[in-house]
């Protein structure tokens, strides 16, 4: 298995049998999903959240350094009025 400069020995050496595992899991509608399994060296939920934030920010920094951009989900919302519906219906011969 290939070593990771970001996750391996994150905040101290990994215990035997607890090395991180990283998988390219799927192509989604607007993303390529990466699944990371790793064990944080803490029993504190608050510290675990802080470590997860640090890990995510480190990944984002490395992506930015490599010139890779993240695609953020977007939605386009259209507000239709009765006048617009009638006009579109007429244009497409639905009326």
Residue 7 dihedral angles phi and psi, to the nearest 5°:
-90, -30
Per-residue pLDDT of the chain (95 residues; tens, 9 = 90+): 567 888 888 888 888 888 899 898 998 877 788 888 999 999 999 999 999 999 999 988 988 899 887 777 777 777 778 877 777 777 787 75
Three-class secondary structure of residue 36 per DSSP: strand
The single residue listed with the structure tokens 């009326």 is 95
- pLDDT attached to residue 85: 77
Q: How many CB atoms neighbour CB 81 within 10 A?
A: 8
| pTM of the full structure | 0.64
Are the beta carbons of 24 and 32 closer than 8 angstroms? yes
- pLDDT attached to residue 50: 95
């Amino acid at each position: 298995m290939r070593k990771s400069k970001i996750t391996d020995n994150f905040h101290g050496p990994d215990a035997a049998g607890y090395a991180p595992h990283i998988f390219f899991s799927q192509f989604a509608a607007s993303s390529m999903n990466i699944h990371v399994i790793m064990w944080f060296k803490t029993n504190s939920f608050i510290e675990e959240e802080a470590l997860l934030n640090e890990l995510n920010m480190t990944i984002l920094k490395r992506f930015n350094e490599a010139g890779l951009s993240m695609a953020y989900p977007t939605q386009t919302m259209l507000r239709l009025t009765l006048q617009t519906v009638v006009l579109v219906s007429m244009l497409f011969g639905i009326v």
